[in-house]
């Protein structure tokens, strides 16, 4: 199981997966030139949402279809420091799919 972490410090933003920097996966989808952000809705949180989903799922179609609601419901609500596991991402995906079906 992977663990994703984010930290906003005076030195900037750090997002890691299992202790290594998380790729923004610009080669798969570029939503911004400015990297990751969170705690609001916008292109940088969208890039983070996409990167988290794509890294976890390794499925471009699903990551592209879910990044926007994932950003709105999950990433936009992160605190300055946050942590998610693969299980947390799976639970969020299940909740998003349940909301779409309702």
> pLDDT tens-digit profile of 35-90?
999 999 999 999 999 999 999 999 999 999 999 999 999 999 999 999 999 999 99
CA–CA separation, 42 and 78 (whole Å): 13
Q: What is the enclosing helix (H) or strand (E) of 95?
A: helix 86-101
pLDDT value of residue 102: 62
9 pLDDT tier (thresholds 50, 70, 90): confident
pLDDT value of residue 100: 75
Residue 15 has pLDDT above 90, yes or no: yes
């Amino acid at each position: 199981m992977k663990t994703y972490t984010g930290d906003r410090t005076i030195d900037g933003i750090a997002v890691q997966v299992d202790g290594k920097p998380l790729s923004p996966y610009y080669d798969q989808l570029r939503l911004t030139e400015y990297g990751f952000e969170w705690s609001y809705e916008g292109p940088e949180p969208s890039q983070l949402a996409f990167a988290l989903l794509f890294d976890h799922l390794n499925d471009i179609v699903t990551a592209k279809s879910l990044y926007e609601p994932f950003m709105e419901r999950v990433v936009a609500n992160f605190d300055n420091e946050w942590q998610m596991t693969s299980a947390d991402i799976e639970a969020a995906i299940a909740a998003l799919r349940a909301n779409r079906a309702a």
